[in-house]
Amino acid sequence: MSGNRNGTVEVVVVGGGYGGVTAANRLARRDGVSVTLVNPRAEFVERIRLHQLVTGSDDAVQGFGHVLGAGVRLVVDTATRIDAAERRVVLAGGDPVPYDYLVYAVGSGAADPGVPGAAEFAHWVSDLEGAERLRATLEEAPESAAVIVVGAGPTGLETAAELAETGRKVTLVCGAVLGPSLHARVRRPVARRLARLGVTVLEGAGAQVTEVTAGGVRLGDGREVAGAVTVWTAGFRVPDLAAHSGLRTDSAGRLLTDATLTSVDDVRIVAAGDAGVMPEHPFRMSCQAAVQLGPAAADTILRRIAGKSPAPVRMFFAGQCLSLGRKEGVTQFSYPNDKVNALSISGRTGAGVKEVACRFTLNKLVSGARKAGRNAGQQAGSRPDRDDTTDRPTPSDARPAA
Ligand SMILES: Cc1cc2nc3c(=O)[nH]c(=O)nc-3n(C[C@H](O)[C@H](O)[C@H](O)COP(=O)(O)OP(=O)(O)OC[C@H]3O[C@@H](n4cnc5c(N)ncnc54)[C@H](O)[C@@H]3O)c2cc1C
């Protein structure tokens, strides 16, 4: 049986991204459940807008007071270990936080390319710090400085187009094919848009980067591409918290779970978002998956608390929305199982669909917060030295929730 002496069940959510926030808000609606969310910063990062942060068309952050309900206690700190035997989360800065159930939602960040020179010379957009550094570097570079974007998945395509639309000279190094996750027919409008923006696209077997240097990249076929700034977008890597805590992971470090998102090692640990994996039901690391997995993780815990068996997760995908600069975009439709089909919307309408999708996602968090109450971090037990920043207005607080 779970619960402290008051009968309250303590749930700790580690990670305040799309998965963690949606899980926390859902859990906090339930009487008798106390929710603590641990996140390294007092702001929610809208990762799906980080390529916009680079060019300044969005700041990609929201105050947690906007997206997290009053029923959730926010602790601004980093989890360094999950002590499953003692049921507590060890923090970098503060006292360990005990739990009855834990949501593992630490997300993902930039992958280590494992290519000589990349760690030293390449930038990335996968997390806030990387995107901010890239923006600062570009601001210092002359406008004529050539930029190389490595990787032609969604993040690479969006980043290349965003930069080119602001007048940057961009070369996109695809590795093999432009838009590997897209249907062959849908790659065409993407390629046309990039061509109109003046992006040089390098595709084919030889277009694999083998080295990054201060002055550009070297390709597998021996070609050298000159560039003042290189942005590496290929692949995401998850934090090693689960493995470091002795929990079983897949080879990429994602927490291994069953079809109810429950850790294969511990019935009290449930994953949400990029940092977990259901080997029987693989899913693409995405915001689209994370906002479904967060509430599903919460439901698994709530059912266990109620003494019921949790239900297997069911996910539905609609497609992939790409912004190709601010003025155009491409929406790639898919079957509910995420397999892409030949249907797409491109041009201005495609850009509109992408913007609506971003706003809809944020709205989902905001309405979840409303249902769970307002003004995160106001509960007794919040540490004032850190939580006093929680409700500090940010530039993005000023704009409508959309
Ligand atoms: C530029 C860009 C554009 C994208 N566009 C799209 C898109 O259009 N559609 C789409 O579906 N996906 C998109 N994605 C992918 C999407 O952003 C991620 O898949 C999604 O953010 C995953 O959500 P999450 O909640 O699992 O993790 P995250 O959003 O990564 O959140 C994880 C949180 O956990 C915190 N954390 C990490 N370690 C710890 C720790 N030890 N202790 C405490 N907290 C910790 C992190 O700081 C972070 O706040 C895009 C990604 C990028 C970079």
H/E element holding 386?
A: helix 384-387
Between the CA of 318 and the centroid of ligand 1 the distance, in Å, is 19
For ligand 1, say whether the CB of 103 is within 6 Å of any of its atoms. Answer: no
For ligand 1, say whether the CB of 47 is within 6 Å of any of its atoms. Answer: yes
- Sequence ranges of the domains in the chain: 9-108+238-315+357-376, 112-235
For the CA of 45, the nearest atom of ligand 1: 49
List the chain pLDDT tens, one digit each, 402 residues: 456 657 899 999 999 999 999 999 999 999 999 999 999 999 999 999 999 999 999 999 999 999 999 999 999 999 999 999 999 999 999 899 999 999 999 999 988 889 999 999 999 999 999 999 999 999 999 999 999 999 999 999 999 999 999 999 999 999 989 999 999 999 999 999 999 999 999 999 899 999 999 999 999 999 999 999 999 998 889 999 999 999 999 999 999 999 999 999 999 999 999 999 999 999 999 999 999 999 999 999 999 999 999 999 999 999 999 999 999 999 999 999 999 999 999 999 999 999 999 999 999 999 999 999 744 444 333 332 222 222 222 322 222 222
For ligand 1, say whether the CB of 151 is within 6 Å of any of its atoms. Answer: no
In this prediction, residue 111 carries a pLDDT of 85
CATH match for 9-108+238-315+357-376 among 3.50.50.60, 3.90.1150.10, 3.10.450.40, 3.40.30.10: 3.50.50.60
Q: CB neighbours (10 Å) of residue 143?
A: 9
Between the CA of 38 and the centroid of ligand 1 the distance, in Å, is 15
For ligand 1, say whether the CB of 276 is within 6 Å of any of its atoms. Answer: no
CATH code for the structural domain at 112-235: 3.50.50.60
**DSSP letter at 282?**
-
Q: Is the dihedral of CA 339, 343, 348, 353 positive or negative?
A: negative
Nearest CA to ligand 1 atom 39: 106
In this prediction, residue 6 carries a pLDDT of 75
Task: Report the alpha-carbon distance of residue 102 to residue 135 in Å, rounded.
Answer: 35
> Is residue 174 within 8 Å of 207, Cβ to Cβ?
yes
For the CA of 241, the nearest atom of ligand 1: 41
In this prediction, residue 373 carries a pLDDT of 79
For ligand 1, say whether the CB of 274 is within 6 Å of any of its atoms. Answer: yes
Between the CA of 143 and the centroid of ligand 1 the distance, in Å, is 30
Burial zone of 195 (CB within 10 Å; 0-12 exposed, 13-18 middle, 19+ buried): exposed
Task: Report the alpha-carbon distance of residue 157 to residue 163 in Å, rounded.
Answer: 10
Angle between helices 347-371 and 287-305 in degrees, nearest 10: 20
Q: CB neighbours (10 Å) of residue 123?
A: 23
For the CA of 286, the nearest atom of ligand 1: 19
For ligand 1, say whether the CB of 17 is within 6 Å of any of its atoms. Answer: yes
Domains 9-108+238-315+357-376 and 112-235 share a fold: yes
In this prediction, residue 170 carries a pLDDT of 98
Task: Report the alpha-carbon distance of residue 122 to residue 91 in Å, rounded.
Answer: 30
Between the CA of 40 and the centroid of ligand 1 the distance, in Å, is 13
Name the pTM for this structure: 0.92
In this prediction, residue 96 carries a pLDDT of 97
Task: Report the alpha-carbon distance of residue 336 to residue 317 in Å, rounded.
Answer: 5
For the CA of 47, the nearest atom of ligand 1: 17
Q: What is the DSSP string of 95-123?
A: --EE-SEEEE----EE-----TTHHHHEE
Which pairing describes strands 79-83 and 33-39: parallel, antiparallel, or unpaired? unpaired
For ligand 1, say whether the CB of 53 is within 6 Å of any of its atoms. Answer: no
Q: Which residues pair with 173 in a beta bridge?
A: 150, 202
Residue type for position 76: V
